[in-house]
Chains A and B, each alone.
Chain A
Amino acid sequence: MSRDQIPGLLEEREAYGETTLVVEPGRLLEALGHMRDERGFAFLADITATDYLGWREEARDVAGHLGTAAGRDLNAPSSQGLELLPEPKPKRFSLSYHLLSLEDRSRVRVQAWLDDGEAVESAVSVWPTADWHEREAFDLMGIRFSGHPNLTRLLMDDDWEGHPLRKDYPIGGEPVRFSSAE
């Protein structure tokens, strides 16, 4: 795909046989519309938000990373060989749209990077199926979609506080009613 045609394209990556197109968050909707209308990606399979808070830090506390080419350093006790840290990420959240072309059977991932609180335009006008996917991303990850007709919580209670799939949300952090302490 040529770079100048997709609106707001920042980067095109190939990994594991999959294509990822990183676009500017401000022009995401434009890019998605272009993918649907000009490139035949008529089918939106999925929208996934991922929280990268603590990425590269959490990886340190476990021994012996992949690619320990040099092995352990015997002269430095308890060193764990080559510490392979993952690639840095531009912002905290990634938002991935998995698109599918029913005509030539190809798949592509359109990705935008967002900071906490940064809003993107809703894709409901491009694909109605985005409705629940975006509500889920809002509910569990706290991504804001401007222009969504009904951006309310989907899976959690309406009065739930916090966004459970964020990395700073503890597992088992919900209050338990009727516990012995009450």
Chain B
Amino acid sequence: MAVHPPAARVRQPRLIYEGTRIPSPIPTVLQVRPELMEQGDIMQINFGPNHPSTHGVLRLIVDLDGERVVGLAAVVGYLHTGFEKTMEHKTWWKAITYPERIDYVSFQNNELVFVLAIEKLLALETPPKAVWMRTLLCELNRIHSHLVFLATAALELGAISMFWYCFRERDQILDLFELVTGARMHTRYFQAGGLAEDIPRGFYDECRTFCERMPHAIDQYESLVDRNRIWLERTQGVGLLSAADAIALGQSGPVLRASGVDWDVRRTDPYLAYDQLDFNVPVYENGDVYDRYRVRMEEMRESTRIVEQCLEGMPEGPWIADDRKVVLPPREELHTSMESLIHHFKLVTEGYRVPEGEVYVPIESPRGELGCYVVSDGGPKPWRVKFRAPSFVALEATATCMHDALVADLIAIVGSLDSVMGEVDR
């Protein structure tokens, strides 16, 4: 693993293959070569949309020449629910629940990016305690997301036991979320201005216990697969993606870092408390399925370190901004203060107004650069919300990664891109 100083730049990555492998003329569709077509032995089959190893409802139309994948087209949209349209019809604070459901595995990060966009338009300061708690929860969420990746990716390659081990720790993270927010998933804990509630008593101790345990759990996962011949042979050298192709295809997050590009929004464009935290950004250079797996394993370790630092450095003080035009008044004031009651009523029924403008806020979600583009017309509802979904972009790389792949590699490659279909289809 390459450890580098905070101000690292994009290094010259190792050459994974000569030239480009992006298919032409359609960059996302691998077309069968005409000479193969003439042989007439090509079989076209459907993977999905309900195949167990396609991470949800992804459909791949695959052309096979024996075991070899010679053509591929991804068909998406089976989970399109019109989140962005629906959000235009909800007040800002009600719309916060929707991003979580877009990527149902990294819900905290998705929630955060929308809240950050609102706060950017409102120029709202968040108290330090809320900033640090958000950082903590987002990192727990990153571990959670990578655990789901590892569990399902290994499961698809036949390592069933990995699934149970990963879901053991995943469940502990969900327990922590439940302790803090009352919900295991889709927690709706971030408000514009801070957190929805104070951090409950007992959380720090529980979270510390988890942090002590997690490195050992990661050791266990590694001991299960890292020297496993089957795992290594099915992942190493498979699904190659060069740095240049990864950038041209807009890849981000672990996929980009596994191709040797040192890019992490937490470091290059720090948000929350990341500029005050000490963490490494793992970068690997082979651009294959194995390196994408390694990046995520290292990231789980780093995230555990970040959670520990957040627990150490958690400031005291208020957990939400004191801006009565945006933030709900404290519950107890509703019984005594007419003014607070009015504010509460107006905020709940009509919602707060967000100044006119357009912003694009990027964060590093577990899957890569998650961007939120928001347009406000100054009213109580968003005019336009658009998510730059890293899973959506990751799927664009399937055809490029599929160079010389076998059917078995296809499963490993799709798994390594770690797409969540909810986020692809939105």
Contact = CB atoms under 8 A, between A and B. Distances in A.
A11 to B, nearest CB: 14
Contacts of B375: 50
Nearest to B86: A171
Contacts of B425: 155
A42 B247 contact: yes
Given A45-B388, A46-B360, A46-B388, A102 B263 contact: yes
A98 B369 CA distance: 12
B248 A127 contact: yes
A20 B375 CA distance: 13
B304 to A, nearest CB: 27
Interface in B103-138: 120-121
A177 interface: no
A103 B9 contact: yes
A154 B76 CA distance: 7
Interface string A149-167: 1100111110000001100
A124 B27 contact: yes
Interface in B373-393: 373, 375, 377-380, 383-384, 386, 388, 392-393
Contacts of A48: 373, 384, 386, 388
B28 interface: yes
Contacts of A140: 84
A37 interface: no
Given A128-B27, A171-B89, A105 B360 contact: no
B247 A96 contact: no
A86 interface: yes
Contact of B250 (A129, A149, A157, A171): A129
A51 interface: yes
A155 B426 contact: yes
Contacts of A52: 383
Given A66-B353, A129-B248, A109 B76 contact: no
Interface string A47-69: 01011100110110011011000
A16 B269 contact: no
A56 B359 CA distance: 19
Contact of A132 (B80, B384, B392): B392
A148 to B, nearest CB: 9
A182 interface: no
Interface string B379-418: 1100110101000110110000000000000000000000
Nearest to A109: B360
5 contacts: A43-B247, A45-B360, A56-B377, A132-B392, A132-B395
Interface of A: 15-16, 18, 20, 42-46, 48, 50-52, 55-56, 58-59, 62-63, 65-66, 84, 86-87, 96, 98, 102-103, 105, 107, 109, 124, 127-129, 131-132, 140, 149-150, 153-157, 164-165, 169, 171
Given A16-B121, A128-B396, A131-B26, 11 more contacts: A18-B359, A46-B388, A65-B353, A66-B378, A86-B377, A105-B268, A107-B360, A129-B250, A150-B26, A154-B76, A156-B77
